[in-house]
Amino acid sequence: MRSGSAPSARPGRNAGVTRRAGALAAVCGLLAATAVAALAPAATAAGRTSTPPTGAKADAAQLAAADATLRRANVGGTAWYADPATGHLVVTADRTVSREAVARIEAAVRDSAPAALEIHRTAGRIAEHTAGGDPIIGPGARCAVGFNVQDAGGTKYALTAGHCTQLGGTWSPVGEVASSSFPGNDYGLLRYADPSQAEGGVRGPGGTLIDIVNARNPVVGEKACVSAPSGIHCGTVTGLNATVNYGDGVVSGLIQTNLCTEPGDSGAPLYAGSSALGIVSGGSGDCTSGGTTYFQPVLEPLSAFGVSVF
């Protein structure tokens, strides 16, 4: 599927070579907008905001009841544990949790362990880290992180497909477009708004991480895999230095493979063992009927942007 625009072909239909980003339905756009709005920073500094009175201690039953109540309250950006030594329920709320949400937490445990609630603020953001192969959502399209990279100063970026970054804007959960190259090439950088969320490696089976320690060019006949929002798909490198005309741009120097990909997989990482090889540019077919996928070699953008995988 074409990335960065409405799909020009449907899964299961071979309608020529297309890019692999998925267009989002209106409802997905609404959900994304809601998620962004929910991340408005709270005007509360890091540190302890609620301390139990001296000697206050909840028993095991009260702590268990408070834990269950907090689960039902469902306040994102929080973490908690019961401390049996002190009899306190210790809650950490990140910078995205508003004062009103903290009040909801306090109200939620009022009946179960009101005097033993300990609330701390953290300046960071509690969230799943983002690794290669994880989905990213931008202006009307879904793509994927290829590899997380950093420059000599330690600034962290997500490397992805250029036909995705050419749309500009902010890509959740990473950040804004820092640089883009398409057509001719097909790569771009997103700068992490929160560098602590950049996870080294690529997403493996069951959410595990596959460590990536270097980057290189592939060879014809080599076995390789892609980690994408549609899943992990493996196959063979069948050609190098391929040129593809997508209709709105010609890209040269691509890796040709018999791996399958699906709409929304643009930018996803191609790797072999612990080596970074490329990122999804486009292809034909799908993972039901099989197909061909073309990858932008990774060494070119690493050199062009002065970054390295980590």
Q: Which residues are catalytic?
A: 163, 186, 266
Cβ neighbours of residue 273 under 8 Å, at least 6 residues apart?
none
Cβ neighbours of residue 203 under 8 Å, at least 6 residues apart?
131, 132, 133, 134, 209, 210, 227
Backbone φ and ψ of 90, nearest 5°: -100, 115
Q: Which amino acid is at 32?
A: A
Coil, helix or strand at residue 104: helix
d(CA 105, CA 157): 35
Give the Cβ contact number of residue 275 at 10 Å: 18
Distances (CA, A) of 15 to 1, 6, 19, 246, 282: 9, 14, 11, 12, 12
Query: How many helices, marked H, and strands, marked E, lie in the chain?
Result: 5, 24
d(CA 203, CA 225): 11
Residue 205, classified by CB atoms within 10 Å of its CB into exposed (0-12), middle (13-18) or buried (19+), is exposed
Cα torsion 257, 11, 183, 173: sign: negative
Cα torsion 298, 303, 307, 308: sign: positive
d(CA 287, CA 261): 6
d(CA 231, CA 223): 17
